[in-house]
A = this chain, B = another copy of it.
């Protein structure tokens, strides 16, 4: 995606400024127009704060129009008709383009129920979610009153626009929109980090298929060269991190029975803070293991 510097945004003509930020808020260029007059912005945090102030101070009918400008989630007809590139990317990142039949049916059911109750589409920052957590959020929010949901929708628009700004605008400061998931394997049998351990991160799903979302091997320090998830929000959801321990000890000539007591070790945990740092290490011997939320 093309990027633009904050300095260039500050210096641009109004039309160019509005064009650059046109898709930060779905189908709502008026928001960019309001910001144009407030330039220059000292940083991206200030820019995003101003954007949210503009939305929050808009008249209720303008806010409602803004909310209604958003597409339904996982709506096949709308997908065919064309989403903005941003919306399509975001929905695909959560796997909404590859739903199981049961998931598709569940999404359709809650979409309809939500529209029927509130008269506007359910909005959520999908990059912060998995399929399961969207359905859970959906069902929780269906119980709210309309006023609460208007506020929640604007909150989510705030998160969506923050992520879009983060990808679009190069500035010296950063919006706090990324999380990090990391691991570390310590071999307590040898008293050393465990290198060369194959591992797999799986996103668990109640209604659909579990998805492998990362594969890696530990390096000389027992860590992965890259975070398992980084440079983006951590999708709220349940995960399983699997480590091939049997192979590791077999290759080192450690005597183990056949089959080995521990072979593939699954650590199952959930993420609830998309902007947090989750460190999920494994302390292991051929006969024991431990994990914890670390830092």
Residue of B nearest to A246 (CB): B270
Indicate if A215 sits at the interface (CB-CB under 8 A).
no
Q: What B residues does A133 contact at CB under 8 A?
A: 259
When chains A and B are docked, how far (Å) is the Cα of A293 from the Cα of B190? 9
A287 touches B295 (CB 8 A): no
B266 touches A268 (CB 8 A): yes
Indicate if A221 sits at the interface (CB-CB under 8 A).
yes
Q: What B residues does A182 contact at CB under 8 A?
A: none
Residues A191 and B236 in contact in the complex (CB < 8 Å), given A257-B273, A260-B270, A293-B261: no
Residues A191 and B266 in contact in the complex (CB < 8 Å), given A238-B259, A258-B272: no
Q: How many copies does the complex hold?
A: 4
**How many residues in A have their beta carbons less than 8 Å from beta carbons of B?**
42
A261 touches B191 (CB 8 A): yes
Indicate if A33 sits at the interface (CB-CB under 8 A).
no
Indicate if A202 sits at the interface (CB-CB under 8 A).
no
Q: What B residues does A294 contact at CB under 8 A?
A: 186
Q: What B residues does A285 contact at CB under 8 A?
A: 188-189, 191, 285, 292
B261 touches A270 (CB 8 A): yes
Residue of B nearest to A283 (CB): B292
B269 touches A262 (CB 8 A): yes
Q: What B residues does A288 contact at CB under 8 A?
A: 188, 191, 283, 290-293
A268 touches B268 (CB 8 A): no
Q: Report the minimum CB–CB distance from A236 to chain B (whole Å).
A: 7
Indicate if A265 sits at the interface (CB-CB under 8 A).
yes
Residues A266 and B266 in contact in the complex (CB < 8 Å), given A186-B295, A188-B288, A288-B291: yes
A186 touches B292 (CB 8 A): yes
When chains A and B are docked, how far (Å) is the Cα of A142 from the Cα of B292? 44
When chains A and B are docked, how far (Å) is the Cα of A237 from the Cα of B261? 10
Q: What B residues does A196 contact at CB under 8 A?
A: none
A272 touches B261 (CB 8 A): yes
When chains A and B are docked, how far (Å) is the Cα of A186 from the Cα of B226? 23
B222 touches A287 (CB 8 A): no
| A residues neighboring B (CB under 8 Å) | 133, 136, 184, 186, 188-193, 221-222, 236-238, 257-266, 268-270, 272-273, 283, 285-295
Some 13 contacts from A to B, beta carbons below 8 A apart, are A186-B292, A188-B285, A188-B287, A189-B287, A190-B287, A191-B261, A191-B285, A222-B295, A259-B270, A261-B293, A264-B268, A266-B268, A288-B291
Q: Please name 18 further chain A to chain B contacts, defined as beta carbons within 8 Å, in addition to the given A191-B288, A261-B272, sorted by A numbering.
A: A136-B259, A186-B292, A186-B295, A188-B287, A189-B189, A189-B285, A191-B261, A192-B293, A193-B295, A237-B259, A257-B272, A258-B272, A260-B272, A261-B269, A262-B270, A263-B268, A266-B268, A285-B292
